[in-house]
Structures are given as structure tokens and as C-alpha cells.
Amino acid sequence: MLRPRIIPCLLIQDSGLVKTVRFKDPKYVGDPINAVKIFNEKEADELIVIDIDASAHEREPDYQKIAHLASECRMPLCYGGGVRTAEQAKRIIALGVEKVAISSAALANPGLISEIAAEIGRQSVVVVLDHKQRLLGKNQDVWTHNGTRNTKRSVIDVALEMEKLGAGEIVINSIDNDGKMKGYDLALASQLREALTVPLTVLGGGGSLDDMHKVVAACGVVGVAAGSFFVFKGPYRAVLISYPTAQQKLDSIYSALQGRR
């Protein structure tokens, strides 16, 4: 039986692991390699690692860092940050990474999706759409460059375009909910799950296993990703890397599929 993927999302800045709130005020939380080792021990389903400075500063991906991450990671690894060409994506896959995530470059040059898919296979192409609610109305716009530039395009319209161009997976990341740990945007997630045929991963706002349960109850088999939930503990946000056990996932998250049958 297909099951939802429970995915830690790690943000890297200046070679350190950080966590943001609404894409601002990054807090240093440790060494990325140590975090990868802990998630290995806890048998995480998958891992997303994003270099949040690479795209914003138009910097080349740090291939040495990526190779180190890939060599340590025992689970499927998705890397994003600074990828602007199909050649870069191919080089990253050759280092042992399973998926390459792109965001700003995909919005600036949509044809890049097809080019990368032709090089590494559609299943390895992930498009990350950072989104924020408009000041007026209910629509969610896609933002790029760490949430500093508004494309003024609907996240649903962009997601459908990216799927058509060859994206093998769409990740939606709520800027409004980032780091708040108060729940996901279930309405948008449900809309996109119905509209898309490729895998969907929902990120932004996860603060409990119950939050993840609600995503699966609303959307079925999707990826459920989080950052703060996996690196912080308690109301004072003490740094502690954690991940649910197989039994916790069965009881708290996978059980949500029962009601959808």
C-alpha cells in the first residue's frame, strides 16, 4: 500500500543548519551533517535540503557540500538551491542525490523544467512553489528569492504549468505559515491534490503529528514536510532533532487514510 512520506526539510545558510519564521530571522540550529546522521538513525522516509542563499545570491551550488550530504544520507535526498541549468542538475544527480529542486529559476525560465527532465528524468525534477496570500482576496501568489519577489501568479496556475512542462513533483511551501507550527494550509493542499496528477508535498506550518494527520485526511497519499517540528521541542523552541517512530506514524498519520476508503 502506498503511504504518505513524512519529510524533514533542512535549510542551509553559510554552511550551517538554520530555521526561519515566515522566511525571516534565521536561527542557527546545528550542523547539517549531524542532523542527517540522526535522521538516518530514525529512518526518515526522505530528506529535503535547501541552500536558501544560493538562489537569492545567484551562487553556484556547492557541489562538495552536496557530495558530503549525499554520501552520509541513507534515505532519498532532494537538494535545492542555485540550480539554473540542466547541466548543474545532472551533476548533482551524479553525486548521489535522488531529486533536484528548483524554484526561482523555474519561474524565470519555465523551459528549464523540460530541459532538466530530459537530462535526469521527470521523476527527479521537483518544483518548489513558495506562496503567500494576497492582501486582498483569497488567492495565493507564488513568491521567489526567499519570499522577496512576488510573481503575482496563482500557485495553482503555476503548479499546473510546471506539471505540464515536466515537473515530477510539486512542493508547496507556505510563507505565511513558515515556522509558526500552527498547521498547514489544508484548503490549498486539497485543491492542488485534486488538480495535479504528479506527487504533491505540503510544507509550511507543521507543528504536531495531528497537523500531519489532517493533511493526509484531506489529501490522501502525499508528502508531508516540516522544518521546525523536526528540530525544535517545547514552547521555548529548544533545539532537539526528532522524528516519529514507525508506530507513531501508523497510529497518528497513516490512520488518516482509513477514513478515505
- Residues with a catalytic annotation lie at 130
**Is 135 within 8 Å of 179 (Cβ atoms)?**
no
DSSP secondary structure code for residue 4 in this structure:
-
CA dihedral in degrees (95, 96, 99, 103; nearest 10)?
A: -30
Measured between alpha carbons, how far is 198 from 122 in angstroms, rounded to an integer? Answer: 10
Measured between alpha carbons, how far is 93 from 233 in angstroms, rounded to an integer? Answer: 33
Measured between alpha carbons, how far is 104 from 251 in angstroms, rounded to an integer? Answer: 38
E strands present in 159-217: 169-174, 200-203
Cell output for 76: 532519498
Q: What are the angstrom distances between the C-alpha of 29 and each of 16, 66, 180, 231?
A: 8, 19, 16, 8
